Structure 1
Amino acid sequence: MSNPRAEDKRARSTAARLYAVQALFQMEASGQSADRVQREFQDYRIGVEHEGEISPEADENLFTRITDDAVTWQSKIDQSTDRALVAKWPIERIDPVLRALFRAAGAELVTPSTPPRVVITEYVRLAQAFFPDGREPKFVNAVLDHMAHSLRPEAFN
């Protein structure tokens, strides 16, 4: 039997991850600070009605934690991503949406709050939403698996 509270919590966590990827993409594209982009999302995007559509509610604490940690740990996350990518294909050369996705996932992998397998599953699902017809979800799965083993090896013993 399904638990509506658990499903709502999961949906809010998934939405927080989606918004975090979008926010990180926006921060990189616009050069805006994390604080400014977070406020914009909280005031104008998360759970807000726009043109008759209501955007999903999100776990705003998770959203803020992911974006803050992605900024704080960006160098470590990017180095881990670079090691998981083909040597001749550094993170700067990959699609900016994928870069934002790897940084958001990396932020969750750097801290032990969420099990790595959950992080991988959630971000592969997001990759499927962003790239429904491409190979990117399999690529994301492989890169995140490598990153998870590198950043959180204790979780795989």
Structure 2
Amino acid sequence: MELNRHQIRELAFQTLFALNTNEQTDRESFFQVLTDGKYGDKYPDYLEQLITGVLDHKDKIDQTIEKYLISGWSLNRIAKTDLIILEIALYEMMYVDDLPAKVSINEAIELAKKFSDDRSRKFVNGILSHALEELVK
């Protein structure tokens, strides 16, 4: 049984959230805990790509998010869940070539539905829609 990209995004979200709290989180052990070992020992390449990509490009991704925040808002005002969801989606939109940006936006909205609330879903959609307009130019 293999994980699909939707499941991998959920695991990336959970791992990045854990890393935000404790930088010492062992990704592979955390993967085993999150999946209860039902996917074996194979740590998915795309999971590593998302986590490493978000962490390596965090500054540029966060600058992109800041461009679209309401005047007077900063990254510190964004709920950590929403920020991590935005970072994953923007990483995909900016750095993953074989993936349509609209897929990343839809997946981010699904993550917000599962891990956040209705207001967050709308917020995430708004930021990513604005970013998409710029990235398409």
Normalising by structure 2, we get a TM-score of 0.85
Amino-acid identity (%) = 23
Tell me the equivalent position of 2:33: 44
Tell me the equivalent position of 2:109: 124
Tell me the equivalent position of 2:23: 31
Tell me the equivalent position of 2:68: 84
5 Å-filtered alignment, 1:5-84, equals: 12-32=4-24, 36-46=25-35, 48=36, 60-84=44-68
What are the Cα deviations for residues 64-102 of structure 1, in whole angstroms up to 9, with x where unaligned?
111111011100000000111113111122111111111
- Alignment equivalent of 1:136, drawn from 94, 106, 120: 120
User: Which residue identity is paired with 2:19?
Assistant: M
The CA distance in 2 between the partners of 1:30 and 1:113, in whole Å, is 32
Larger radius of gyration: 1
Structure 2, unaligned stretches of length 5 or more?
none
The CA distance in 1 between the partners of 2:104 and 2:60, in whole Å, is 17
Structure 1, unaligned stretches of length 5 or more?
1-7
**Paired residues of 1:74 and 1:103 also in contact (CA < 8 A):** yes
The CA distance in 1 between the partners of 2:101 and 2:69, in whole Å, is 18
Q: Secondary structure at the match of 2:15?
A: helix
Instruction: Report deviation, 1:44.
Output: 2.4
- Say whether residues 1:153 and 2:122 are aligned partners: no
CA RMSD of aligned residues (A): 2.4
The CA distance in 2 between the partners of 1:22 and 1:101, in whole Å, is 10
Change in CA separation of 1:87 and 1:125 when aligned onto 2, cut-off 3 Å: same
Tell me the equivalent position of 1:108: 92
**Paired residues of 2:81 and 2:116 also in contact (CA < 8 A):** no
Normalising by structure 1, we get a TM-score of 0.75
Change in CA separation of 1:141 and 1:65 when aligned onto 2, cut-off 3 Å: same
